Structure 1
Amino acid sequence: MSEQHTYRVIVRGTWDALTDEARQRLLGEASEHGMLSMRFTEDGSLSYEPSPLKHFSWRYVVVSDAADGEEMAAALAEDRAETALKGLGYGFRDLKSTVTDLDTMKVNRKSASRR
């Protein structure tokens, strides 16, 4: 069995060709998808600003084989975002991802002398 890594992935995109119904739903639910809702989860966390209703981001936690690397984590998260957006009936374009491998991330801790 291959080593598994945990990745945090932010998938960003642009709303595109939203129907009037989709636009009204997004505007009506905007308070549920603001700054306070931003969390990394397996199912993803959607966030966007209602004014102007232009860009969005999904935050995902992806666990995959370390050998597949960050590119695979990005592809998996983008696929999840695309599936979710299509399922909700939202038009979108230009998906791009930023990936952080939590298992290789350096944590700088303050030394006792720097406190």
Structure 2
Amino acid sequence: MTVRGSFDGLSAEQMAALVADGPAHDFMNTQYTADGYLAYDLPGRPFFTFRFAEEAPDAEGVPEAGLRAQIKAEEWLAAHGYPFKNVTVQVVDMAEVPLGKRGRREASR
């Protein structure tokens, strides 16, 4: 699950704290985790991305998993006092992602 949004009206102190912690939230090291990986590129862009590893029991549970990821992201932002807006969720059902050449080879073993 990928949750995207924008920081909205950060104070100077909040911006400074996020910029100082920026190396721990680099887009080049993103990963999908249960707790979520936050990535951003402040002060250049006000946008953030959380990546969550969520599971659904079946296809009908995928939207609910996306909602769980959105709630986790919004709760994290609120707990840290960061104002935000325009939150969206992109859900990818890995069961529907076509296998590449290597994946097909591994699956046939």
Shorter-chain TM-score: what band?
0.7 to 0.9
Measured after TM superposition, the shift of residue 74 of structure 1 is 1.4
Distance 2:100 2:39 in 1: 29
2:56–2:62 CA contact under 8 A, matched in 1: no
The match for 2:27 is 35
Instruction: In structure 2, list runs of 5 or more residues that go unmatched.
Output: none
Instruction: In structure 1, list runs of 5 or more residues that go unmatched.
Output: 1-8
Give 4+ residue runs of structure 1 displaced > 6 Å after superposition.
none
The match for 1:81 is 73
- Counterpart residue identity of residue 22, structure 2: A
Structure 1's 97 and 71: CA in aligned 2 closer, same or farther, altered over 3 A? Answer: same
SS of the residue corresponding to residue 52 of structure 2 reads strand
TM-score (norm 2): 0.84
* Map 1:71-110 → 2, pairs under 5 A: 71-109=63-101
Aligned residues: 104
Q: Percent identity?
A: 26
Measured after TM superposition, the shift of residue 23 of structure 1 is 1.1
1:37–1:45 CA contact under 8 A, matched in 2: no
TM-score (norm 1): 0.80
SS of the residue corresponding to residue 3 of structure 2 reads strand
Q: Match for 1:56 among 33, 39, 48?
A: 48
2:3–2:51 CA contact under 8 A, matched in 1: yes
Measured after TM superposition, the shift of residue 73 of structure 1 is 1.8
Measured after TM superposition, the shift of residue 84 of structure 1 is 0.7
1:15–1:53 CA contact under 8 A, matched in 2: no
Measured after TM superposition, the shift of residue 95 of structure 1 is 0.6
- Structure with the larger helix share: 2
The match for 1:15 is 7
CA-based RMSD: 1.9
